[in-house]
Structures are given as C-alpha cells and as structure tokens.
A and B are shown apart, each in its own frame.
Chain A
Amino acid sequence: MTLPQLHIVLPERLQRFVPAARRGLAFGIPALDALLPLGLPRGQITALDAPLGSGGTALLLALAEATLRADEGVAFVDAARTLAPQAAAHLAGLGPFWVIRPRGTESAWWCADVLLRTGAFGLVIVDQAPTPARPVAVRLQRLARDKDAALVVREAGVPPGQRERKAAAATPHGATVPGAALVLSVHSAQDGFIPAAPGSGAAWPAPRPVRVVIEKGGAPRAAEVSVGDPLPHRLRPHWAVRDRRGGRSGGGVSGRTQRRRAVQPDWSASP
C-alpha cells in the first residue's frame, strides 16, 4: 500500500478506535464528513482559507449547526460585523449560540481568548479577522487544548482583485494562520451558473458547487459540496418568513408579470 493510500485509509480505520465523545467536530455535510472522518480536531486551530463569496460562511454555519446539535456551545466572532442576522437566526434556537461583534477586527483575538477561557464552548469561530501574530496563535491553541475546544479561523477576506497577490505571499500550504493543525481551502466553482439572458433577470439554476481541499493536516484530498439554494428572481426571504408580497392576478396576466413589467430596468437613464 502506498503512502497516499495509507493517508486515505488510516483515518477511516482509526475512527473505530476513537470514542465518539473524543472525535472532532462534524460539519453535518456528508461529503465534508467523509473528507474528514475524524472531524475538525479539538484542541487545535483549523484555518479556513475561503475568499469572499466562496461559501465559507455557509460552511462555518453548517459546522456551527452540527456542533449545536451535538449539545455543545458555539461562539462566532464576526470580526468584520458583516454577518446578516437572518443568516444565522436558525442556530439561536438549537442551543447556546452567541455572536460576538467587536468594534475592531483587531479585538477578535482578545474576544476569542476570553471565550475560550470560559470553557463553555466546544467551537469558537473567528471570522474575517486579521492574521494573528504567532504568540497570539500559540496562546489560543493552548487555550483550545486546555478547554478541549476547536478553534476555527477564517482570515479577513481579500478583495477578489488581490487574491492572486495574496496567494503568492502565502505559505506553501496556503496557510497564514500560525500553528494551524488543519488548513482547508474553499473555492467556488462557476460551472453551475448559467449566464444571464440579455435584458432579462437571470435566475441561478442550481446551488453553487464549492470545492473544499485539505491543504495541510491530512491527506491531500478534495470534496465538492453544494452551497446555497437556487436564487429566485426575488430576493430570498428566510425560509420561515411568509412572503406577503404576492402579486395581483387578473386580466390574464399574473401578478409577477405585472410587477416585472412595472420595474423593467431603464439602463439608458443610468448614470
């Protein structure tokens, strides 16, 4: 058996000998859980290299949901204060889920320190924070180890135009978080999208395929997961909120058609 084969097979064999309570955290997404049979490691830092719009937040929230369903607390440090509350509202009813929204991105690491010290959280997520200094990362890793918690770090998003420069400056594994035991990179594939039809509102036909690759901390494997619902013409309301903007029907023209006619974009008048 070759070394890459051992890398692939061993975690699955080892899983039988690891007590369920001591296993890492699951994503609750079958493809990702198959990619990481032992789950996200507790007591370690996991870095998520997910550019803006790649589906990183969706994966983090899925991880939070699976952790909450396992009766563990989750703290989400939203360093950039950009998370829309409706996106995570369903988690608040599942268990102790707290979102920390510091004034500045630099405070995110201090917040994570305070949260880890409580020992109340099995998962602490630091989202959109600047790269921590090595001493800070080491201290956080020790705290996570002492409290048996998983610390997941997603660095601040880089504007798409600067993504190539960041990739060149990153370490060979693409990891910039010092001491990260596991590094996952997330990239959205565009194959699932159909370009817009000229002059009409195009709808996304399928959820976005997102590719997750283990960059460090395991066998170099990849998995593809689907993130996001098909985007309808309208803005997507929350699944539990009734849409009260139904159109008027009559005259053989549906309300939706009436409304679309009423708000046809006037491109020529735009500045």
Chain B
Amino acid sequence: MAFAEAQALAADLVSLPWDTERVARAALEVATVLLAASPRVAWAGERGNEGVWWVDAAGLGSEPTLAARLGRLARGLGFGRARAGIADSAIAAYAAACGRPGAGRKHTTAAPGIVPPGDDNAFLAPFPLALIAPHEDLAETCHALGLRTVGQFAALDADEVEARFGPEGLAAHRLARGFDTRGPTTPRDDALPVIACDLGSPVATAEPLLFVLKGALASLGSALRAKGLAAREIALTLTLDDGSTAEKTVRPARSTSHEGALFDHCRAAFEGWALPEPVTALAVRATVAVPASGEQGDLLAPRWADPAALEAAFDRIRGSEGADAVAQPLVRDGHLPRDAGAWRTEELAAATPTRDTAPALTLGAPPNRPAAAALRLLQAPAPVRVRLSRFGLEAFHHGETWHDVTAWSGPERLAPRWWIGESAGAAGASLPAGPRDYYSAHTAAGTLWLLFRTGASRQWFVEGWWD
C-alpha cells in the first residue's frame, strides 16, 4: 500500500523516518527485561525481524513455564500480543511463534509453540518457503519447479542446491533442514591452556625437570578440566641455556586430562632426549584437545567411578605395560585351544577382521553350573621330553621336573593353521608343521596338563594346564 493510499484511509497518519538508533535502544530495553528469564538474550536485529529476540532456553527447566514467564515480561513492556516459540533451532522457534500453517498467521491466543526436541525438521516441513526468506533467484526457481513448502525444498540434495545456487542457496537449504546458527551467543575462550615455568637457574639433570614437569602437568590438567577438555596431544617445550628451544610432542593413546597419565607419557618422552645445553625454562601446552567424555553418576549404584578416571588409569597401565595390557576376554570359534579365545584390546576393537581372525562370539551369562576348571596357556608351546611305555604316556619333563602321569586322555588330531607361523618355547623356534595329536595328562601332583605331539616330527610340547 502506498503512503497516499494509507493516508486516504487514515487522515491522522504520520510518517516518520526510520531511526535505527532509536529502534536499537528500544530493543536493548526489551532485552534487559528479558534477562530476568534467561541469562542469554540476543536481539535478532535483521531488517524485517526487528521484533524478534532470541532467548536461550537450555538448562532452565520447564519450557512452558519459561514461555509463560517471557509472555508476562513482554506484556509488562506493553507488547500484549507477543508470542514465544521454543525449539532446538532459531528458525523452528520462530516458526513455532508464528504458528502452524493453516492455523492463521495471527494467533488468537498467546499459547507458546513448543517443538519437541529433534522434531525441528518435521515441524518446519509444512511451512511455506517464504519462512526461510530465499533470495529472488532461488524463490523464482522453486516456484517454477513447484516447490512450495520448506519440506519440499529440504528434500533436495544439498550438493545440487549448492552447485545451482551457491553458498546462499546452501544456507537456505540448511535453514530448511533446521540448522540455524542464529541465537544468543556468548564469547568463547577457545585458547588451549599453556603452562610455562622458569627454572631460575640452568638445570642439567632430569630429576628437577621431572619435578617441575609434574606440577606443570597438574596445572595443565586442571585448566583442561575447567574447560571440559581432555588433551589429545601436548607439546613439551624446553628453553635451553643458549636461548634455543627443543620441543617434543606427546600423544596419549586416549585423550586425557589426568596428570598421572600425562606425566607417564612425558617421562617416557624425556628418556633418550639428548639436550645439548642445560634447560632454563619449561612449557607444556595442549596442542590438540577434545571434549572430555562425561557420564552422569548413579547415586543408587553400589559402586560408581568416574569413567574418565578409569580410562586414565587404564591409559597409565597401557603406557607402562603395553597397549595390550588392558583387555577383555572373548571367545572365538576356533578349533585349537589357543584359537578358541582372544583378548579384546583397544587395537583389536579398532582393527578390521581378517581371514586369520576367527569370528568373535557374543556370549551371555552361562547357565548355572559348578565352577569350571579354567585353561591356562603358556605364552608359547614348550617342547618337552616324554617317557613312554606300551601303556602310553608315563611321564614328561617340564620346568626341570619330571611329572609322573597317572592318567591321560587322547589323542585328538587337530590340524594347526599352517598358513601362519607359530613359535614354540622361549627361544621362539618355529613349531613343526603337520597335524597335532592333543593329549590331556593328569600327573601325580594333581595337575591336568595339555600336551600335543606334532604328527610329522613326533616332537612333544606342553601347551598349558587346567586350573
């Protein structure tokens, strides 16, 4: 409507120039009042959306209560028809405040629109395309293609939209799918912590350095935890007496903020680090950090510990004893005693199954049964000497002792996995090829041993015992 037409309808109509500062001042007053309901409030400020404020509703309890409070505050300011919408994204909250399509553009009630978590995409689908305010080219093309609703536009392939309409089209497509970066924001401190220590006088030995390092890592861990982070990689920088610097990077097996685990890794980095000059200063900084994993504790659980602390403990053990030192047992469908189980370590879980790896089985709890004797396996089959009679196995020599056999069972012929080599004994000699005859032998000392004899060379080996 032109101004003249409007003036013809309302004779007392006054035309004032747009005063950006005045509008901003009014918006600030409203935002100040709304701060009583939420600590983070932002004015949308876009042309056409001057009457929109974004309010952070996260962690403030009941959403209907918050919406009602916002409505009361707005009415107190004289905005009697103010409406609130709550959703995961700003665009969906805006749409919820506007009301569902078909229900009329103008609300007759001040009831807030609340979109359930995760439903933004579906909620936005029936709205007209004008909701996302597409630019002219995009709007014309969509109209020509018969795309009328947000849902129809959101169903298009994002790559094709970007290829056709560029970054603006992609931004509109993201809005249509409920991804909206608008909303109240606060400045973030993204700088990763750095702890620097001046040693005072040059230090030429490792002990004082490690002492200072331990304190520095404790401070670094505290700083990381304060930010909710865990170090994936830390840099250890030493300033030498001649002014030069030496740096090493330490990468824990798992991201952690535990000073003990970090110290173990840094101490390992110090080993074999030849420094040409004494050290005058030390600095540790987290170069790569990831959000620390957290888990809500169970008040009623008989025993609950912080998973991060447990992971840190495992990390310390892995760092000292090897990556396979912490494991969980699993059973495999292997025919050899040594192949019937495996240890699930971090590496095994990440590895892709190969043909040499029998499929792992998922087991539930076994049925009620008496305590079953457990098989113990030597690190590698150990060659043994045996004494035989016409009745069979009489004794075998293992561990500098002759074991008298009182009863034996067997043989059971099993073919080993010939396609992979196996070693035997402490020297790591290769096991003879060919099928094996397995025996279990009960000795006079009360131990039930597992032995086998290789078919080709007729050598005897002890593989383990039942305990």
A99–B412 CB distance below 8 A: no
Instruction: State the CA gap A21–B303 with chains docked (Å).
Output: 11
B391–A92 CB distance below 8 A: no
From A87, A107, A119, A163, contact of B320 by CB (8 A): A107
Instruction: Count residues of B near A (Cβ-Cβ below 8 Å).
Output: 89
Instruction: State the CA gap A84–B377 with chains docked (Å).
Output: 6
Chain B nearest CB, measured from A104 CB (Å): 8
A93–B322 CB distance below 8 A: no
Of A6-14, A53-61, A131-139, A177-185, the one contacting chain B is A53-61
B329 at the interface (CB under 8 A from A): yes
From 189 to 208 in chain A, residues with beta carbon under 8 angstroms from any chain B beta carbon are 189-190, 193-196, 198-199, 201-204, 207-208
* Contact flag A93-B399 (CB < 8 Å), given A82-B378, A84-B377, A88-B329: no
Residue on B with the closest CB to A92?
B328
B325 at the interface (CB under 8 A from A): yes
**Contacts of A16 on B, CB cut-off 8 Å?**
none
B325–A118 CB distance below 8 A: no
B409–A202 CB distance below 8 A: yes
* Contact flag A193-B407 (CB < 8 Å), given A110-B320, A207-B370, A245-B335: yes
B313–A118 CB distance below 8 A: yes
Of A167-175, A213-221, A235-243, the one contacting chain B is A235-243
From B310, B316, B370, contact of A227 by CB (8 A): B370
Residue on B with the closest CB to A88?
B329
* Contact flag A196-B371 (CB < 8 Å), given A84-B376, A101-B343, A190-B446: no
Instruction: State the CA gap A144–B375 with chains docked (Å).
Output: 29
**Contacts of A82 on B, CB cut-off 8 Å?**
376-379, 464
* Contact flag A270-B371 (CB < 8 Å), given A89-B330, A110-B320: no
Question: Most B CB atoms within 10 A — which of A90, A94, A163?
Answer: A90
* Contact flag A102-B467 (CB < 8 Å), given A190-B446, A271-B458: no
B373–A235 CB distance below 8 A: no
Instruction: State the CA gap A83–B344 with chains docked (Å).
Output: 14
Question: Most A CB atoms within 10 A — which of B376, B379, B408?
Answer: B376
B305–A100 CB distance below 8 A: no
Instruction: Count residues of A near B (Cβ-Cβ below 8 Å).
Output: 98
Residue on A with the closest CB to B452?
A235
B371–A225 CB distance below 8 A: yes
**Contacts of A52 on B, CB cut-off 8 Å?**
447, 465, 467
A188–B412 CB distance below 8 A: no
Residue on B with the closest CB to A70?
B302
Instruction: State the CA gap A202–B442 with chains docked (Å).
Output: 10
**Contacts of A81 on B, CB cut-off 8 Å?**
379
From 45 to 97 in chain A, residues with beta carbon under 8 angstroms from any chain B beta carbon are 50-59, 61-62, 70-73, 80-94, 97
**Contacts of A93 on B, CB cut-off 8 Å?**
362-365
Instruction: State the CA gap A55–B389 with chains docked (Å).
Output: 29
B83 at the interface (CB under 8 A from A): no
A160–B403 CB distance below 8 A: yes
B401 at the interface (CB under 8 A from A): yes
Residue on A with the closest CB to B435?
A263
**Contacts of A271 on B, CB cut-off 8 Å?**
458-459
From 353 to 409 in chain B, residues with beta carbon under 8 angstroms from any chain A beta carbon are 361-367, 369-379, 386, 388-392, 399-403, 406-409
A246 at the interface (CB under 8 A from B): no
* Contact flag A89-B464 (CB < 8 Å), given A111-B321, A119-B303, A240-B363: no
Instruction: State the CA gap A229–B371 with chains docked (Å).
Output: 8
* Contact flag A265-B446 (CB < 8 Å), given A228-B372, A240-B331: no
Instruction: State the CA gap A113–B52 with chains docked (Å).
Output: 59
B329–A89 CB distance below 8 A: yes
B447–A99 CB distance below 8 A: no
Chain B nearest CB, measured from A259 CB (Å): 8
B413–A262 CB distance below 8 A: yes
A99–B374 CB distance below 8 A: no
Q: What 0/1 pattern do residues 224 to 264 of A give for CB contact below 8 A with B?
A: 01111101011101111110110000000000000100111
**Contacts of B365 on A, CB cut-off 8 Å?**
90, 93-94
A17 at the interface (CB under 8 A from B): no
B309–A118 CB distance below 8 A: yes
From B317, B344, B366, B369, contact of A114 by CB (8 A): B317
A239–B366 CB distance below 8 A: yes
**Contacts of A240 on B, CB cut-off 8 Å?**
331, 361, 363, 366
A241–B340 CB distance below 8 A: yes
A57–B305 CB distance below 8 A: no
Instruction: State the CA gap A118–B337 with chains docked (Å).
Output: 34
Instruction: State the CA gap A226–B329 with chains docked (Å).
Output: 24
**Contacts of B305 on A, CB cut-off 8 Å?**
73, 118-120
* Contact flag A270-B447 (CB < 8 Å), given A55-B467, A57-B376, A226-B370: no
A71–B401 CB distance below 8 A: no
Instruction: State the CA gap A94–B329 with chains docked (Å).
Output: 12
Instruction: State the CA gap A269–B456 with chains docked (Å).
Output: 11
Residues of B participating in the A interface, judged by any CB pair closer than 8 Å:
301-305, 309-310, 313-314, 316-317, 320-322, 324-333, 335, 337-338, 340-344, 361-367, 369-379, 386, 388-392, 399-403, 406-414, 437-438, 440, 442-443, 445-450, 453, 458-460, 464-467
**Closest 6 pairs between A and B when the two form their complex, measured CB to CB:** A53-B447, A86-B341, A160-B445, A85-B341, A228-B373, A120-B305
Given contacts A160-B443, A240-B361, 18 further A-B contacts (CB under 8 A): A51-B445, A54-B447, A85-B342, A87-B375, A98-B327, A103-B321, A111-B325, A114-B313, A115-B317, A119-B305, A120-B309, A160-B445, A161-B400, A163-B445, A198-B392, A229-B372, A234-B412, A263-B411
Ordered by A's residue number, 16 sampled pairs between the chains whose C-beta atoms are within 8 Å are A53-B443, A53-B448, A53-B467, A59-B371, A82-B378, A89-B329, A89-B330, A98-B327, A101-B324, A196-B407, A201-B409, A202-B408, A228-B371, A231-B440, A238-B341, A267-B392
Residues of A participating in the B interface, judged by any CB pair closer than 8 Å:
21, 29, 50-59, 61-62, 70-73, 80-94, 97-103, 107, 110-111, 114-115, 117-122, 159-163, 187-190, 193-196, 198-199, 201-204, 207-208, 225-229, 231, 233-235, 237-242, 244-245, 259, 262-265, 267, 269-271
